[in-house]
Structure 1
């Protein structure tokens, strides 16, 4: 009886989550944040990652749980379509309110299976960009380790289609697992985003430093740009800058915000005499 009760309870919670998700898609009740990505060497801006977050709820204790749940439903395509529209719409509005260049780059998180969808490839994204006055050259698709690619030959063919239109690709969470490393080699992305687990206390961890160095060498040989994610401490920033890592993002540079904030390099603390 206890097992049966637990199964029923889990089913009811899942049903409530499903209806909540459908409501968010319908009402566009996500909050959109923009986190700056900058040059670690010069401090100049590269662009912004767009982050759509669900409202605070007991059904979804955190953002990761929310997106994990979506991946197990039949709403992946519907959510991605709505989220993409929302991202472009709100980015365009924020860009209009800011003093940033009109061709500012945006990083959009996207599920690999969505790119495989024939409806998605039919020009829907180009129509959206045209509606908001944006260009494919401004858009970088972020593919994450958590959403593995299975058919790399087919996926590489599809990415060629997007690249021909001007879009670029970033592999997110690099160094966090086998899938991201395989994706880097197979898909030849324009950007490699180092996972925050590699960056946390990297100045103190020789093993993490070796992995960062290996990825940096691979990127240099393949013409790929490195972006270090999750930079939260000045010491992490200093180490990455000294190692010649090209780009970075994180709380030490700029927190996610609903407007396009101007980021800056962390200020080095002065030692007292």
Structure 2
């Protein structure tokens, strides 16, 4: 099946994984994660879309469906913010700002509740134009997150230049955190940076209690991972 047919027939759906404020023991939002029965690994879908020059169509349709699912679940203030994974090339597409405004108007979802989570699996070639587009989106009320910090194409330069509202540390840093002094030191450096720049640090991939306890001891206030809540249909995303 071609990606165009896959997109048009919308043979995909979304699970939502909760993101928690550890200090207040409450959800601050959900990350929308694309799923499909046709392909066990959803990354394959985007790789195919890129090869067929259909990445914007796939990415934007996924965003549209995620917002629709979030809203249809009866999303009120208790659901917090919606984190949407998005490719840099999608953000730079000339049609994207008007598209985003339209689907949010249709869903009656406030811009301030949407966090655009920039995928680090794609190189940002036109940094100046990208930075300008982020400024425009911020003026409209959207928040910006940088995903998978510490892997992919992320760099200190992009973190500084794009001034994200959220920095999401890759799950690598949470894995066996209680056993690694080096990971603890690295996280402390980022935590200090975020405090000084007024951004918020999110630790991804927390899967066991020991990792969670060390994260709390380090002063990490926001985390995400299977120990806190697995990706699921939104109504089933409950605090464990």
Please classify the TM superposition score into its range, dividing by the shorter chain length. over 0.9
Q: CA-atom RMSD, angstroms?
A: 1.8
Q: For residue 233 of structure 2, give the secondary structure of its aligned residue in structure 1.
A: coil
Identify which of 64, 69, 91 aligns with 1:115.
91
Farther off after superposition, 147-156 or 245-254: 147-156
Alignment partner, residue 55 of structure 1: 37
Q: Which has the larger radius of gyration?
A: 1
Residues 213/117 of structure 1: CA separation in 2 closer, same or farther (3 Å cut): same
Query: Deviation per CA, 1:5-41, whole angstroms, max 9, x where unpaired?
Result: xxxxxxxxxxx5xx1x222201111021111001012
Matched, 1:186 2:161: yes
Q: How does 1:149-168 map to 2 (within 5 A)?
A: 149-168=124-143
TM score, norm. by length of structure 1 = 0.82
Output one character per residue of 1:137-192: Cα deviation in whole Å (capped at 9) or x when no partner. 01000012212222222211111100000001000001125524332111010000
Q: Which consecutive residues of structure 1, in runs of 5 or more, have no partner in the other structure?
A: 1-15, 267-273
8 A contact 1:230–1:249 mirrored in 2: yes
1:66-94 Cα shifts (integer Å, max 9, x gaps): 33333333001111221111111111111
| Aligned pair partner of 2:10 in 28, 39, 46 | 28
Q: Which residue of 1 aligns with 2:199?
A: 224
**Can you list the C-alpha shifts for 1:223-243, whole angstroms capped at 9, x where unaligned?**
000111111011110000111
Q: Which residue of 1 aligns with 2:21?
A: 39
Q: Which runs of 4+ in 1 moved over 4 A?
A: none
**Matched-pair contact (CA < 8 Å) for 1:34–1:259:** yes
Alignment check: 8 A CA contact 2:17 2:237 kept = no
- Which residue of structure 2 lines up, in the alignment, with residue 87 of structure 1? 66
Q: C-alpha separation between the residues in 2 aligned to 1:177 and 1:185?
A: 16
Question: Counterparts of 2:150 and 2:197 in 1: how far apart (Å)?
Answer: 17
2:217 and 2:47 mapped to 1: Cα distance? 36
SS at match of 1:217: helix
1:71 aligns to what SS in structure 2?
helix
> 1:47 & 1:182 partners in 2: Cα distance?
27
Q: Is the 8 A contact 2:121 2:152 kept in 1?
A: no
Which ranges in structure 2 are unaligned for 5 or more consecutive residues? none
Query: Is 1:145–1:180's contact at 8 Å kept on the other side of the alignment?
Result: no
Paired positions, count: 240
Q: CA deviation at 1:217?
A: 1.1
Among 59, 77, 97, the alignment partner of 1:101 is: 77
1:215 alignment counterpart? 190
